[in-house]
Each structure stands twice: as C-alpha cells, then as structure tokens.
Structure 1
Amino acid sequence: MRFGLYGLHRDRNVDPGVLARRARLAEEAGFESLWVGDHIALPAGEGNPPRLEAMVALTYLAAVTSRVRLGVGLIVLPQRQPVLLAKQLTSLDVLSGGRLTVAIGAGYVEPELHAMGVSLAERGARTEEYLAVMRALWDAAPSFDGRFVSFSGVVQYPSPVQRPHPPIVVGGHSAAAYRRAVRHGSGWYGWGLDVDQTAQALRALAETARGEQRPEGLGELEITITPPGPPDLDTARRYAEIGVDRLIIELEGIDDDAVDSVIASVGETLADQV
C-alpha cells in the first residue's frame, strides 16, 4: 500500500511558502505521491476556495521536491488542448526526473466545460481522441487525423523520461470510465469511496475487463482510491485487503492548523505499518 496526498494546490496552500513547506514535509514523512486537481473555472456562488492551475502547481512542486511522485488528477481532458497538454506533461516529466503520473477524466461541470468551448455531449468522444493525440505525439508520430484534432508534419521533443509516456490513470465511476481504464489505463482512480463502495467498483471493473481487450503491455490495473476522510490503520488495511494499491488522502475538511500534524502522522504511521 502506498499513500498519496491531495490538495496542496488549494486554500492556504496557494501561498508559495506554505506550499513548499508542506510538500517537503509530505516527502519526508514518507508519502509516495503528491496530487493536484484540475478545475479552471467553477460555477460562481458555490464558495469555491482559491486554487492554483494544475500544470503550474505541479511545476512548482517538481522544483521544491526531489523524490516524491507528482500526480495530476483528475485532469479534465476534454477541456485541454491535447497538443499543448502533451508538451506540458512531457516538460513536467523531464523537469521532475520522471516522477509524473497523469490521471484523466471526462469532466462533469457543464458551465466549466462550456467556458472552455466544450459541450457536455462531446466530452467522452473528446477524451478518447485527445488521449490518442497525446500518445501519438509521445511516440513521435508526425501526423494525426481526428474529428477534433488534426496535424501533419510536426513532432515534439524531448520525449518523456518515462517511456513510452508517464503512467495514465483513468478516473470515474461510470461504465464508460471503467471501459476506458481497461482499454487504456495503467490504473483506475476512484474518488470519495469507502471500503464497501470500493469493493463494489472493483467488481464492476472486473466485470468490464471480462468483456474488453486489454493491451498486454499495460499489465495489471493499479487501483487508487481517495477515501471520504483520513483513514485509521484498520481501515487502510481493509482497503489493502480488497486490492487497493494506493490511498490518496484529501486535505479538504481538515482545519488548516492541523494539516501539518495530519501530514506527519499519516505519512509516518500508515506508511510504516500497512
């Protein structure tokens, strides 16, 4: 069992000094990875906390840490320009020394998608095509001809440090997300699931896998879960027993004065004993 930390791009952590200090604290405490989310423009009037843009936040985290892996998840793929995104992700992988993990999702916030020029109805098709675009660029393919993106006679260098590309984790609890994970992902990410809900999702993934062709090179699907709150040792062990490979602890809902102690205690206690 590995442990990640989610949320250092939000709230008080947007202060660069706080962000750097907590990132280093998590790295020293034994967290395997640091994760940031991807929302660019959320609906007004919902009490949204300040948040840093995901690519910028990860670049800063890459600079102030040296060992911990860096995860973007879930990046709302259909609202990103995939040629630019492929270059940004490659740059992050290079600058971090091959520490990047990319978790993708189709998104669900219609006003945000609309603001980025994407309809809710097209999000699934765009997600599939944009993933194919990025993989083509990472493989140095000089052309692509799709419904939403086409190019010819261009390539991107350098290549990612991790070959053929950083690990792709697929998030979401829908049947389409399960299929996408089986077909394309090195892992699947479930958000806000307790142990029983996780077990149910894993059964659905297994059922999906029986009807889908999974490429041999992807290996076994790695399972990542963000639980509803910081788990105690017994709960973490229950996740591990049903096949979860990584728990990502979310900082939202934890009083800011307690964040440092939570990072230290979760990292040291759970990582040592699970």
Structure 2
Amino acid sequence: MKIGVGIPNQVRDVRPQVIPEWAAQAEEAGFSSLATVGRIAYPGVMDTVALAAAAGATKSIGLMSGVLLATVWPAPLLAKELAAIDGVSGGRLTVGFGIGIRPDDFVVDGLGTKGLGARIDRDLETYRSMWTGQPVGGGDNPGVPAGTREVPMLFGGMAPASFARMAKWGQGYVGGSAPAQFVAGHF
C-alpha cells in the first residue's frame, strides 16, 4: 500500500519556508507522495511553487497536484512550468487537473469562467504539443528541452466530460480535497 501526504501549501498564511522542510520530512518518514491543492485567491503558496520547492528538497518521493486549476493559466506557460518541475524532480511529477469553479481564482485577463470545458480540451492539446517538442509561439523553437516527457495526468471533476478527458488523456482520477465517500461512486 502506498500512502501520500498533502503539502500544506494552502493552509491560510502558511510560512513558505515550511514547504521544503515538510517535503524532506515526509520523504524521510516513508510517504510515497506529496500532493498540493491549487487556489489563486487564497493566502497560500501556489501549487507549482510548492511542487518545485518539494522537488528541490527531496530525491525520491512522488510529487502530485491534486488538483491544479489548469484553466486559470495560459496553457503554454503551465505546460512549460510543469515540464520544468518534472525535469527538476527527475520525472516524479503527476499532475491532477481540475477546471475550477470559484470565480475569484480566474485572475488572468481573457481567462474567465466561460467555456472551461472547451478551454481545457484545447489546453490539453497544447500541453502534449509542447511536451513532445513542437515549436511554440509561432517560431521554430520548442518551449521545453529535448527529452522532456509527457507528464502523467489525472483528472478531477464530477461531469461526464471530465471522465471522457480522463479516458482520452489521463492515467486516472483524482478526487481532490473531497472525502472518500463523496468520490467512491465514481470509481
């Protein structure tokens, strides 16, 4: 049995220096993975920053977002960020994606709460394109180093479309920060 633990990145007003210390202690204690929770409009540490800090502070523990709000990011920037975290960690990242439901998390101009399903579907194409070394930004250069792998993806959500995304793109389902009995029926 594998047992993971959450990184306290979204504990209100967390001291950011706790993140690498927590990660190192979790690895030393024998946990199999460390997971984050994503929010923008909350006084915590961004999940990508927490994962990068954990990658730098550990050597073998798995890293996971559970869930990262993909649609609040411009797709090429998130793809590059995730590829870098995966690379720095030596291929230990698994990313759990959600589309988000809280309007206050959508802070980037042009990335509001309308059309989230269509947006994540386009974004997934962008992630794969970037992770497989295709040129980015209309130029000739790829956005990530040669040898970058496609980061394994999990999907959260309760809509049939989220299950379809999981079947097409993913390696599994992530229940996010929900009690087991809440997601049990989906398994």
TM-score, reference length from structure 1: 0.61
CA distance in 1: counterparts of 2:162 and 2:144, whole angstroms? 30
Tell me the equivalent position of 1:134: 127
Report Cα offsets for 1:169-211 as digits up to 9, x if no partner: 111122221111111111111131334x443112xxxxxxxxx
Tell me the equivalent position of 1:28: 28
CA distance in 2: counterparts of 1:10 and 1:194, whole angstroms? 20
Q: How does 1:1-274 map to 2 (within 5 A)?
A: 1-11=1-11, 13-16=14-17, 18-42=18-42, 50-113=43-106, 115-117=107-109, 118-142=111-135, 151-159=138-146, 161=148, 163=149, 165-191=150-176, 192-195=178-181, 197-202=182-187
State the Cα distance separating 1:62 from its structure 2 match: 0.9
Partners of 1:27 and 1:67 within 8 A in 2: yes
**Identity rate, percent:** 30
Q: Which amino acid aligns with 2:99?
A: A
CA distance in 2: counterparts of 1:87 and 1:77, whole angstroms? 13
Aligned residues: 184
CA distance in 2: counterparts of 1:200 and 1:99, whole angstroms? 29
Q: Which has the higher contact order (CA 8 A, sep 6+)?
A: 1
State the Cα distance separating 1:41 from its structure 2 match: 2.0
Partners of 1:138 and 1:159 within 8 A in 2: no
TM-score, reference length from structure 2: 0.87
The structure 1 segments of at least 4 consecutive aligned residues displaced by more than 4 Å after TM superposition are none
Q: CA RMSD in A?
A: 2.0
CA distance in 2: counterparts of 1:138 and 1:21, whole angstroms? 30
CA distance in 2: counterparts of 1:101 and 1:60, whole angstroms? 15
Q: Which amino acid aligns with 2:15?
A: V
Q: Tell me which protein shows more helix as a share of its residues.
A: 1
State the Cα distance separating 1:54 from its structure 2 match: 1.6
Q: Which amino acid aligns with 1:174?
A: A
Q: Which consecutive unaligned segments of at least 5 residues does structure 2 have?
A: none
